[in-house]
Amino acid sequence: MQLDPDDERVLAGEMGETRQKMLELLVALGKVFGAERLVPIKSAQVSGASYKTIGKYGLDWLASLDAKAVVPAVLNPIGMARTRWEEMGIDPDFAEKQQAVVAAYERLGIRLDCTCTPYYLYETRFGDHLAWSESSAVSYVNSVIGARTNREGGPSALAAAITGKTACYGLHLDKNRVPQMVIDVHADTSRWTVADYGALGYHAGRLVGNRIPYFRGIQPDMDQLKAIGAAMAATGAVALYHVEGVTPEAQKNHYNVSRLEAVTVEQREISNLFTEIPVDAVALGCPHCSPKELGDIARLLTGKVVSKPLYVFAAQGVIDKNQRVADNIEKSGARVFADTCMVVSPVMEQYHSIMVNSGKAFAYVPNMCGGTARIGTLEDCIRVATE
Ligand code: F3S
């Protein structure tokens, strides 16, 4: 693997032990995956931020590190809203440990935007090389923006933040970004919502596994693209997908997919996922809400009062820029929380059944929160939360 003189000095330990270990990790990964070089990155997004997922050993490891990130780097959602954890009903012992994790990352120069949608906060452009971890964020920036990142683990994303580089393999290379199968959607998608596209992603992820799918027959908007990718990364291991005539690389490259395996998805396979089981809470914002999604929720809640807990999750920076909208949502009794989500916060474990409008949350809530999940459109979620 080609390394420049600065890298050699880092590997010799001249820039400190943490930087040395971090670069060793990236070089080892690069060798495993056949990388010929490292590539500078524009930003990093680091998972392993919720105390619920990393526990004591993860915290001890973070506390042992001593270096600073050299590129903009943000955190994945953590187990609680940093400033409103008491209101969420978070156990003080958990909160103390979660604050310690956050403090450890802050000491390493990681910005405390704890979100799976950093692309709403920091400009990310076509062709940028990144080192991001959270699967839905990885899918979005690769597929919808045309930036380039593998799905990093927490330690390798942190290593990339601290060194400013990542190993150049996998989705950083053109040859690994071409479609590997076709999904033909046979349905009238003209009235499909974010939830329908999330359900499509949920279903398609199981068909695709870790291949790169090329969708035909759909015209999703940005929020709907976000929903497909997040769900497909949950039920499959999809880090990049293309949509004919929609996503940037599909438009630019005019892929010839005529010889690829093609599968068909019918409307009934999507409709079958929408059931009407009773729920005791509703959670929106998986992935974290866009400004438009916050606006839609506020509009649907106008003049209504919630009859069961309604959680809305978004990045703090998005809430700050849309504070009046968030305030309007909260007038209904719903709560808009930053930094966390329905899957990584232990608060959601108190509910037996949670309604969501996200294919990803629909996939993860049963395993991560222990309850059952129901998927419905945003309109249905608001109706159920306020009936
Ligand atoms: Fe984001 Fe949590 Fe969903 S991290 S994608 S809101 S499971």
Q: Average pLDDT for residues 165-184, to the nearest whole number?
A: 98
Ligand 1 centre and the CA of 132: distance in Å? 14
Per DSSP, the three-state class of 144 is helix
- Note whether 25 and 160 are within 8 A (CB): no
What percent of the chain lies above the pLDDT cut of 70?
100
pLDDT value at position 92?
95
Quick one: DSSP state of residue 76?
Answer: P
- Note whether 167 and 141 are within 8 A (CB): no
Which residue has the CA at smallest separation from atom 7 of ligand 1?
A: 343
pLDDT value at position 344?
87
What percent of the chain lies above the pLDDT cut of 90?
94
pLDDT value at position 48?
86
Q: Any bridge partners for residue 166, and if so which?
A: 39
Rounded distance, CA 100 to CA 272, Å? 44
Mean pLDDT for the chain? 96
pLDDT value at position 51?
86
Q: Average pLDDT for residues 243-266, to the nearest whole number?
A: 97
Q: Is the pTM of this model over 0.75?
A: yes
Which residue has the CA at smallest separation from atom 2 of ligand 1?
A: 341
- Note whether 34 and 126 are within 8 A (CB): no
Q: Where does the pLDDT of residue 368 fall: very low under 50, low under 70, confident under 90, or very high at 90 and above?
A: confident
Atom of ligand 1 nearest to the CA of 116: 1
Give the binding-site residues of ligand 1, using a 6 Å CB cut-off. 77, 116, 134, 136, 230, 286-288, 313, 341, 343-344, 360-361, 364
The better pLDDT of the pair 209, 291 is held by: 291
Tokens standing for residue 354 = 């949670």
Q: Where does the pLDDT of residue 367 fall: very low under 50, low under 70, confident under 90, or very high at 90 and above?
A: confident
